[in-house]
Structure 1
Amino acid sequence: MKILNYALLVFLGGCSYGVVSTFVKLGYSEGFRLSEVTGSQYFFGAIMLWAIAIFVPKDRLKCKQWLTLAIGGIPMGLTGIFYNQALGYINASFAIILLLQFTWISMVLQYVFTKEAPSRKSFISTIIILVGSVLASGFLQTGIIFSFAGISWGILAAFSFAFFIFISGNTNIPVHPIYKSAIMTTGASLLIFICLPPLFLINGTLTDGLFMYGLLTGFFGSLVPPLLFNIGMPKVGGSLGTILSASELPTAVIMSTLVLHEAVTFLQWVGVVIILGGIAYPNFQGHKTTYLIKKNE
C-alpha cells in the first residue's frame, strides 16, 4: 500500500471523529437525554471493539495491567460526558473548537508532569491556535449568544481529552492497539454507567430509535478512528498524522452547517483555517527539513 493510501486512512479517521457531534445533536433533537446518548455510544463502541479484538493477537496481561488500561479509559469516558453535555448548550461547530483546545492543554500537561518545556515552534503554534479559536468561536461578532455552561463543559472536555492523550502516550503495556482500545473503552463505559445509570438498556428507548444513534456514534467515535489510526499512523508518522487527524475540525463544522443548519460566518471559517494552520505549523516545518535532508543525501 502506498504512503498516500495510509495518509488517506488517517485523514478519514479524523473525519470520522468529526461527524459524532452531529449525530449527538440529532439524538437530542429526537428527545433522547445525555445518559442515553452517551451511554449507548460507549456501550456499542465497546461491543464493536471487542468483536474485532477477537481476531487480533492477544498478549497475556496481568490483572494489574488490565486495571491500568481500564483506569486509563476514565478520561475518555469523562470526555464523552463533558463533550455531549456541552452539545446540549452550544452549537456542534463551537463545541468541536472548544474540544480542539486539547492541543495546547496537552503541552501544558507535558511540562507539568515531565518538566519538558515546549519548543519555540510549539509555543508559536499555541498562539496561532488561540487566535484562530477567538475568530472561530464568534466572540468578536455581535448578536451571538454564548452559554457559560456550554463553554465550561466544552473546556472540561478539552482538559479530560488532553489527560487521555497524555495517559495513552505514557502507558507502556505491550498489547495490540485494538485490544488496548477495547479495554480502555470498557473502562470508559463503566465510568459512564456509574455516573449515568444505563436505564436505556431496560426502559425501551433502544427500540424507540436510540439504537440507531448509539450504533452510529459508537461506530464513528469508538470503532473507525482507532482502526484507521492504528493502520495508518505507523506508516505516515506522528507529525503528519497530527495534521491529517485535524480533519475532524472542518468535518464537524461542515456537518453542522449542512445537516444541522447551524450558521457559520466567513470570519469563523477564517478562524477554522487559522487553527488548522497552527496545528500544521510545527509539523510542516519538521517534514520540510526531513525532505530536504533526504533530497541532499
Structure 2
Amino acid sequence: MKYLLSVLLGAICYGILSTIVVKAYGEGYQLGEVVGSQLLTGCILAWGLVLFTKLRQKRKQRNEQSSGGSASSEQQTPSPRLTWKQRLILMAAGTPTAITGLLYYQSLRYIPNSLAILLLFQFTWIGVLMHAIGQKKRPDGIMFVTLAVLFGGTFLAAGIMEEGLSRFNWIGVIFGLLSAVSYSLFILFSGKAVPGVHPANRSSWMITGGMLFVFILFPPTFLINGLIWGDLMMFGALLGLFGAFLPPVLFAVGVPHIGEGMTGVLGASELPVAVMLSSVVLHEHVSFMQWAGVVLVILGVALPELIKRINRPTRDYLQSSSA
C-alpha cells in the first residue's frame, strides 16, 4: 500500500503545478522566470538529497564499524563514480522534461488550465504511436479500444460539444499538444539513460541538464535583478518542490514495486486534480459533460491494466488445468 500511495502522491504533485503557474503569471512573471526558478529550486533539492544519502550511508558504515560488526560487501564497496560521458547522457535525457515544462506553461498563457492539462494527457496515445513506430509493430485490438475511449473522453472534456471550436486559441492548443509530444519523448528516453545509477544521482543530473538548457534559452537575470527575493522565490520553491523534486523521488520509490501498468493508472490522478483546482482555485467553469470526459480519459488510461488483471486469473487457471 505504501508504494501505491507513493506513486499516487507523485501524480497529485504534478496536478498542482499548472494552478501555481497561472497564479505566477497573474503576478506578472514571465515564462523563463517561472521555469528557471522551478528548476533551480528542484536542482538544489535534488543535490541536497544526494548529499543527505551519502552522509547517511557513511554514518551507517561508521556505526557498524564502531560496534564491531562487519559491513556487507555491498556497503563496503563504494558506488562507482559516474564518468563525464554518463553525466552528459543523463543531462541530455533531462532536457525533454524542461522542454515539456516550457511548452506546457506557455500553453497556459492562451488556454484554460483545464484544457492545457487535457492536451498534455495526449501523451498516452502519442507514446503508443511512437512505440509502435519504433517497434514496427501494429497496436493490438485492446489498444485501439483504449485510444477510442481516450479520444471520446478528450472530445467531451474539452467542451467541444457544448461550445464548439471557436473558443479555442489555437496557439495554446498547439503548445499543449507539443508538450504532450515532448513528454512522450521524455518517457521514452529517460528510462534508458544510464539505468544502473542510484535514483537520486540520476534525477539530480537530469534536473541539472534541464536547468542549464532553460538558462541558455532564458538567461537567469532574475538572480541578479532582485526578482528572486520577491514572490518569485515562493512560486519557484513550490514548483521546484511539487514538480522537479518530489514526483521523481516518489516514483523512484513506488514504481519498481507496483509496475508500469499500475503506475499509469495511478498517474492519471494528475488530470482530475488539475481540473478540480482549475475549478476551485482559478474559478474556471467545468461542466458536468467535461467531468464525464475526464472520467472517460482516466478509464482509457486504466483500461489496458484492468483487462490484463481480468485476463490473468483465466490464463493462470488454463495453465494449471493443462498441467
The TM-score with structure 1 as length reference comes to 0.94
- 1:106-145, CA deviations, whole angstroms, 9 ceiling, x for partnerless residues? 1111122232432221222112111111111111222772
Distance 1:174 1:80, change over 3 A: same
The TM-score with structure 2 as length reference comes to 0.87
Which structure would you say has the larger Rg?
2
Find 1:223's aligned residue among 236, 245, 266: 245
Find 1:266's aligned residue among 268, 272, 288: 288
Partner of 2:5: 8
Find 2:100's aligned residue among 63, 70, 79: 79
Partner of 2:51: 54
The reply on whether 1:140 has 2:161 as its aligned counterpart is yes
Partner of 1:19: 16
Amino acid at match of 2:92: I
Amino acid at match of 1:247: S
How many Å separate the matches in 1 of 2:133 and 2:191? Answer: 15
Distance 1:28 1:229, change over 3 A: same
How many Å separate the matches in 1 of 2:138 and 2:91? Answer: 30
How many Å separate the matches in 1 of 2:300 and 2:269? Answer: 13
State the Cα RMSD in Å. Answer: 1.7
Partner of 2:68: none
Shift of 1:257: 0.9
How many Å separate the matches in 2 of 1:5 and 1:173? Answer: 24
Find 1:283's aligned residue among 290, 305, 316: 305
The reply on whether 1:128 has 2:125 as its aligned counterpart is no
Structure 2 residues not aligned, in runs of 5+: 55-78
Partner of 1:28: 25
Q: How does 1:146-165 map to 2 (within 5 A)?
A: 146-165=168-187
Amino acid at match of 1:74: T
The answer to whether the 8 A contact 2:89-2:194 is kept is: no
How many Å separate the matches in 2 of 1:73 and 1:6? Answer: 24
Q: How does 1:103-118 map to 2 (within 5 A)?
A: 103-118=124-139
The answer to whether the 8 A contact 1:42-1:188 is kept is: yes
Find 2:36's aligned residue among 35, 39, 43: 39
The sequence identity of aligned pairs, in percent, is 41
How many Å separate the matches in 2 of 1:89 and 1:284? Answer: 36
Find 1:191's aligned residue among 213, 220, 223: 213
Partner of 1:207: 229
124-133 vs 262-271, greater mean Cα deviation = 124-133
How many Å separate the matches in 1 of 2:133 and 2:285? Answer: 38
The answer to whether the 8 A contact 2:46-2:200 is kept is: yes
Secondary structure in structure 2 of the residue aligned to 1:141: helix
- 1:62-106, CA deviations, whole angstroms, 9 ceiling, x for partnerless residues? 111111111111111110110110011111111100000001111
How many Å separate the matches in 2 of 1:294 and 1:115? Answer: 30
Amino acid at match of 1:138: G
How many Å separate the matches in 2 of 1:171 and 1:121? Answer: 30
How many Å separate the matches in 2 of 1:225 and 1:294? Answer: 35
How many Å separate the matches in 2 of 1:275 and 1:225? Answer: 21
Shift of 1:185: 1.0
- Matched pairs, number: 294
